């Protein structure tokens, strides 16, 4: 954070809106693990700005594209992109209110509808980021092959290269790849938020869900639901509503750990070996 960030915020507003708007107040928001996140109050209303001088040059532009892709699906409230450049992302401010009684049901149904948006292949026509790591989205027609080649292999290779994964674990990953077609259902490509943990779920002025900070692609929808369980899980009413709207294949609970190998590998590569035990447990369960 700068000693006095107001001139920077005002330049962000000028570059986005094409006119001078002064900042009456700013509030640093918690929760941003990678960037600075701030709420701006101005005579033109409130805005949300995220910035990071060290961000890769295309990071905010790609996040803006992902938000736009999810917004176009018109299933869940996604903040409008007001301005974007290499060093900032300016968004519609989502004013969190007390959630409505049907918050979780509405969230489960709208995520299920989002996942019904499909595509001719898995992946996306551009790469993006998961945290600050590049996420490769080269299209593939087979969902399990996509999960192996573009998700697990890339992150496992990186974790091995960085010295986190042992050769034994890498061999176990290879054994697991061969078993995956029998372990997980090969469903249609589903439009995914891609980074759906509770920190990226907020509530809007109506008390309903809004989603931020995506890592969008078309993938296996069970990967998204599994990830929601990684840090404790959402309310049971969310899962029931999802399942009623777009039923899951039987046995999902037993498959969650397999899908969560991807976010766990990402966490190892971003934050270090603290996340290795979870990976080891799953590998030991499926590959002796």
**Cβ 175 to ligand ADP shortest distance, Å:** 34
Per CB under 6 A, the list member of 106, 213, 224, 257 interacting with ligand ADP is 213
Q: How many CA atoms lie within 13 A of 169 on its CB side?
A: 23
Binding mask 48-87 for ligand ADP (x = CB under 6 A): x-x----------------------------x--------
> In sequence order, what are the beta bridge partners of 83?
90
In the bound state with ligand ADP, the residue whose beta carbon lies nearer, of 35 and 223, is: 35
Does residue 199 bind ligand ADP (CB under 6 A)? yes
Q: Exactly one of 24, 85, 87, 195 is catalytic; name it.
A: 195
The pair of structure tokens assigned to 55 is: 């961000």
Tell which positions 16-35 bind ligand ADP, by CB under 6 A. Answer: 29, 31-35
The pair of structure tokens assigned to 257 is: 């750990």
195, 196, 202, 206 alpha-carbon torsion, rounded to 10°: 120
Does residue 91 bind ligand ADP (CB under 6 A)? yes
Between CA 246 and CA 223 the distance in angstroms is 15
Q: Spell out the alpha helix ranges (H) of the chain.
A: 6-17, 59-73, 103-115, 143-146, 153-161, 167-183, 221-228, 236-245, 252-259, 261-271, 276-286
In the bound state with ligand ADP, the residue whose beta carbon lies nearer, of 7 and 45, is: 45
In the bound state with ligand ADP, the residue whose beta carbon lies nearer, of 31 and 181, is: 31
In the bound state with ligand ADP, the residue whose beta carbon lies nearer, of 64 and 112, is: 64
Closest CA to 195 of 161, 238, 231: 231
Does residue 202 bind ligand ADP (CB under 6 A)? yes
185: exposed, middle or buried (Cβ count in 10 Å: 0-12, 13-18, 19+): middle
Does residue 94 bind ligand ADP (CB under 6 A)? yes
Tell which positions 132-191 bind ligand ADP, by CB under 6 A. Answer: none
Please say if 195 is a catalytic residue.
Answer: yes
Check if the beta carbon of residue 162 is closer than 8 Å to that of residue 133: no
Question: How many residues bind to ligand ADP according to rule CB under 6 A?
Answer: 19
Which amino acids are annotated catalytic?
195
What residue ranges bind ligand ADP (CB under 6 A)?
A: 29, 31-35, 37, 48, 50, 79, 91-94, 199-200, 202, 212-213
């Amino acid at each position: 954070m700068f000693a006095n960030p107001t001139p920077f915020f005002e330049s962000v507003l000028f570059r986005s809106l094409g006119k001078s708007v002064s900042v009456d107040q700013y509030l640093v928001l918690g929760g941003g693990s990678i960037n600075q996140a701030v709420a701006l109050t101005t005579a033109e209303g409130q805005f949300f700005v995220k910035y990071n001088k060290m961000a890769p040059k295309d990071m905010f532009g790609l996040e803006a594209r992902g938000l736009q892709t999810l917004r176009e699906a018109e299933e869940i409230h996604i903040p409008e992109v007001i301005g974007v450049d290499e060093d900032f992302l300016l968004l519609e401010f989502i004013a969190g209110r007390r959630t409505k009684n049907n918050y979780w049901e509405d969230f489960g149904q709208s995520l299920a509808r989002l996942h019904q948006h499909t595509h001719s292949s898995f992946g996306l026509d551009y790469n993006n980021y998961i945290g600050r790591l590049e996420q490769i989205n080269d299209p593939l027609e087979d969902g399990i092959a996509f999960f192996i080649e573009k998700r697990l292999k890339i992150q496992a290779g990186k974790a091995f290269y960085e010295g986190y994964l042992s050769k034994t674990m890498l061999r176990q990953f290879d054994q697991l790849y061969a078993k995956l077609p029998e372990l997980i259902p090969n469903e249609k490509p589903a439009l995914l938020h891609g980074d759906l943990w509770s920190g990226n779920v907020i509530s809007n002025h109506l008390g309903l869900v809004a989603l931020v900070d995506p890592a969008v692609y078309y993938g296996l929808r069970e990967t998204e639901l599994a990830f929601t369980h990684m840090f404790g899980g959402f309310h049971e009413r969310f899962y029931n509503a999802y399942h009623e709207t777009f039923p899951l294949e039987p046995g999902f609970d037993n498959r969650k750990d397999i899908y969560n190998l991807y976010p766990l590998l990402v966490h190892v590569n971003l934050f270090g070996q603290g996340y290795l035990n979870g990976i080891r447990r799953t590998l030991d369960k499926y590959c002796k």
